[in-house]
Structure 1
């Protein structure tokens, strides 16, 4: 009996579709079809520009309110220009601190200790022993002390596995206490004229404090948008586990973020010391709230993964303008704080609506169009 062999029928190879050429520049994928003409303004990349323009619009509204309430002052263009420089000078230290805070929040953290770090760095740099080394020694001391405290925050959070809120809250109390101990609860006067001159000197008519602020903001923008460090910061804040699987050392990067925040606090401590010609344990009170609020107003997500250095700066300027406007109209600080609180709540609500409700809305529309 001959053995019969059965041969399997050849498996049909599925037809391969022709390779798809990449979409040309300026064409955005909208699901079923390509929509030409959708540039940077309409896409997600234009979100930052649209938000910044909205913040500039808020500043314009505040100026209009000032013109209505104090026409005697805002009618003088020279006074308006000088007043804007005054606002920028007053906001310079908070603005520098906000840059560091923005990086921390984008990276998925929070830093409640920035005000206390400024106080500790300022007090340490104005001790009699430190002032003997001149302006360079004072600046070096302020920056090194603040950066080291930021490193401690990062180590506690990354390797000690403490929640950022708890770690930085504990540092807030400890740093204020150490500053009070070093200064013996007394105001320490800065006798160095180079340091004190930072607040009064100008370069080409621009205050040195404003130049420092612009320089820090520019450096922060480049670091966030044009370097690997910035891309890793966004990745760590957006999804730490995915960032870890992609080869990013999440723990080390978190430590560096808090060190960067400390560095900004050190610069801010020098600026505040120059403005007051002194330092004390109570300086920079509630700066952490101002920095967090400015970052949120500027579009930085509290959940991490997205933010804008320029938007954070505009947030700082808005708050400083509100303070200035309230002072010109002899309104109470309590009313000012209520307005600030309302702005913060409104900004968070806008974030929740834009990034949850609208995302779900467009997702439903995409499904319905492709279904």
Structure 2
């Protein structure tokens, strides 16, 4: 008998490989709603509608009036401007705890007797310069000094608070310049000028974030800074610019709050940084960076402002208001974590 050659040996048929069932691709509508952020924004709009219903039921004589609506928008405008800058920083993978006290420092510096003697333009320039300068220091410490953003901006918060108290002697400085004082009282078509300033900052921020190379690089750095570096992005320089943008927003907000309160004070902006960060979080921006929407952040500001307005109109304790805000933040973070786990499975 001839022995079979090695090449002609019979082999047992191999079992077909088991492949997991292919997951259906999400539809275009689903991708648009959830990957593009529209779904999250619509959820915040639904929350605003629910809060409006609560306001109409609990305070029917005051909440649904035009004057109260303008009060809400005016209250949201200052924190909203700060939130625009914070959104850029967090999308870029950072954090800025100093925005409230940098705004206070800018308001104090712009309202000293010496500064006011030079007129409104110099006051505005000083406020913007202080904000940009503080942002530049934050950015350099973080990008080139390699200090953790939390620590660097916390140090700036403390330093700005101390410097504001030193300059003002812990006293409120009265705004005597009529041009600055008139900003908050001026209305165009019945809407306060502060709201228009807020809208312009939102529009410019949205265009920069979504329609420019600067915005694309911000998302890239927040998502994966090493990949962005290998793609040719100067990560350190861009990080500095993100904190400069945040500082610029602080300078704008300083002029707004100085006009609204007719004072420059070291007490301005207390805990504003927490409100701004909370608004960014519930607006859908990831704390780890790389994903977020400016419109979502602004809707977050409006949610918190309406909640505050409802508590004031119904004479409820500030402690309960803070508990409600904290609960909203926790729920928003849990939703983010669940969404990230779902996207990676």
Taking structure 2 as the reference length, the TM-score comes to 0.91
Q: 2:284 aligns with which of 283, 299, 324?
A: 299
Does 1:133 pair with 2:122?
Answer: no
Whole-angstrom distance in 2 between the partners of 1:207 and 1:193:
16
Correspondence 1:153 to 2:138: yes
Structure 1 unaligned regions, length at least 5 = 1-29, 364-371
Contact 2:141–2:152 (CA<8 Å) still a contact in 1? yes
- Alpha-carbon separation, structure 2, partners of 1:196 and 1:242: 48
Q: Structure 2: where are the runs of 5+ without partners?
A: 1-20
2:18 — aligned with what?
A: none
In the TM superposition, residue 203 of structure 1 has moved relative to its aligned partner by 1.1
In the other structure, the counterpart of 1:70 is: 59
Counterpart Cα distance in 1 of 2:161 and 2:36: 39
Does residue 201 (structure 1) correspond to residue 190 (structure 2)? The answer is: no
Aligned to 1:369: none
Kindly report which structure 2 residues correspond to 1:2-17, keeping only aligned pairs within 5 A, or say none.
Answer: none
Counterpart residue number, 2:222? 237
1:359, CA displacement in angstroms? 1.9
In 1, the alpha carbon distance for the partners of 2:128 and 2:61 equals 43
1:45-124 alignment runs, 5 A limit:
47-74=36-63, 79=65, 81-124=66-109
Aligned mates of 2:239, 2:62 — CA distance in 1:
47
Paired position in structure 2 for 1:359: 343
Conservation of the 8 A alpha-carbon contact between 1:41 and 1:49:
no
**1:27 matched to which residue of 2?**
none
Q: Give distance in 2, aligned partners of 1:227 and 1:47.
A: 17
Decide whether the 8 Å contact of 1:41 with 1:47 is kept in 2: no
Which residue is 2:314 aligned to?
Answer: 329
| Residue number in structure 1 paired with 2:11 | none
Shift >2 Å, 4+ stretches:
30-35, 38-47, 71-74
Residues 158, 252 of structure 1: 8 Å contact kept: yes
Residue 247 of structure 1 pairs with residue 232 of structure 2: yes
| CA distance, structure 1, for counterparts of residue 238 and residue 34 of structure 2 | 25
- Partners of 2:136 and 2:34 lie apart in 1 by 33
Q: How big is the shift at 1:47?
A: 3.7
The root-mean-square deviation of aligned C-alpha atoms, in Å, is 1.6
| Contact 1:40/1:46 (<8 A) preserved | no
Map of 1:366 onto structure 2: none
After TM superposition, give the deviation of residue 71 of structure 1 in Å.
2.6
Could you tell me how far apart the structure 2 residues matched to 1:239 and 1:153 are? 21
Superposition deviation, residue 241 in structure 1:
0.5
Deviation (angstroms), 1:45: 6.5
Q: Give the deviation of 1:197 after TM superposition.
A: 1.0
Q: Is the 8 A contact 2:34 2:40 kept in 1?
A: no
Query: How many residues are matched?
Result: 325
The CA deviation string for residues 30-77 of structure 1, in whole angstroms up to 9 with x for no partner, is 967777xx3355446754111111111100100111122123335xx5
* Structure 2 SS opposite 1:73: coil
Distance 1:132 1:242, change over 3 A: same
Paired residue secondary structure (2:37): helix
Give the equivalent residue in structure 1 for 2:206: 221
Distance (Å, rounded) in 2 between the aligned partners of 1:308 and 1:284: 24
Counterpart CA distance in 2 for 1:41 and 1:82 is 39
Q: Which residue of 2 aligns with 1:5?
A: none
Instruction: Report the secondary structure of 2:185's partner residue.
Output: coil
| Structure 2 equivalent of residue 285 of structure 1 | 270
> What's the secondary structure of 2:62's corresponding residue?
helix
Which whole-Å CA distance do the structure 2 matches of 1:46 and 1:235 have between them? 16
CA distance in 2 between counterparts of 1:324 and 1:178 reads 32
Q: Does the Cα contact within 8 Å between 1:142 and 1:266 map onto a contact in 2?
A: yes
